[in-house]
């Protein structure tokens, strides 16, 4: 299923413009399949599938958001740019300002769905660690990437120093 999903995603990325949801769905379905395979009990498998789905969707969109500047400037495929085409005279800064609210809402809604599904998981072991990733780490990464869009997208990434 994963190999077929990767192949379908590759074909979609080389084809005509699709919706952002459509591009994200390939990654979401692949991760849903992986998560679902972790558990034998049916109810937990269904919940894991949802957690995997929304995690995969969020990861794909975050990758597109993080790569937006470079893809925009180099004319490479990016699901955001393909789903929301840039206007002919639009600069990177103008484009980012236009699509940021849509992307931010999409990411927030996806995280909210992930959180709802995650709450249904019967995790006992290491729940605190997983909660830190889901409730703190993922939103922090999202804020960091979107902060680049609000005034900092044109700045170069600065290396983290010790």
| C-alpha pair distances (Å), 89 with each of 85, 116, 134, 155 | 12, 41, 39, 21
Q: What is the per-residue pLDDT for 84? A: 94
Question: Contact 54/110 with Cβ under 8 angstroms?
Answer: yes
Spatial distance between the Cα atoms of 12 and 26, rounded to a whole number of angstroms: 9
Report d(CA 38, CA 36) in Å as an integer: 5
41-57: average pLDDT: 93
Q: How confident is the model at residue 162 (pLDDT cuts 50, 70, 90)?
A: very low
Where residue 38 falls among pLDDT bands split at 50, 70, 90?
A: confident
pLDDT of res. 159: 47
Between residues 159 and 83, the one the model is more confident about: 83
Q: Is pLDDT larger for residue 3 or for residue 144? A: 144
- Summarize the confidence of residues 86-90 as an average pLDDT: 91
pTM for the model stands at: 0.84
Q: Could you report the per-residue pLDDT of 106-151, keeping only the tens digit for each?
A: 999 999 999 999 999 887 778 889 899 999 999 999 999 988 876 6
Asked whether residue 102 carries a pLDDT value surpassing 60, the answer given is: yes
Is the pLDDT at 158 greater than 80? The verdict is no
Q: To the nearest whole percent, how much of the chain has pLDDT over 70?
A: 85
Mean pLDDT of the chain: 86
Section 78-97 average pLDDT: 92
d(CA 59, CA 57) in angstroms, rounded, equals 6
């Amino acid at each position: 299923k994963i190999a077929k999903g990767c192949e379908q995603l590759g074909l979609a990325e080389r084809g005509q413009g699709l919706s952002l949801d459509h591009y994200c769905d390939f990654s979401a379905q692949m991760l849903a399949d992986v998560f679902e395979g972790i558990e034998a009990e049916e109810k937990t498998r269904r919940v894991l599938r949802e957690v995997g789905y929304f995690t995969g969707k969020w990861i794909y969109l975050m990758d597109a958001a993080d790569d937006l500047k470079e893809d925009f400037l180099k004319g490479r495929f990016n699901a955001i740019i393909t789903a929301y085409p840039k206007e002919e005279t639009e600069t990177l800064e103008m484009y980012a300002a236009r699509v940021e609210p849509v992307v931010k809402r999409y990411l927030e809604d996806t995280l909210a769905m992930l959180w709802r599904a995650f709450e249904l998981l019967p995790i006992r072991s290491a729940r605190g660690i997983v909660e830190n990733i889901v409730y703190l780490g993922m939103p922090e990464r999202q804020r960091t990437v979107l902060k680049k869009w609000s005034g900092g997208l044109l700045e170069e990434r600065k290396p983290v120093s010790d």
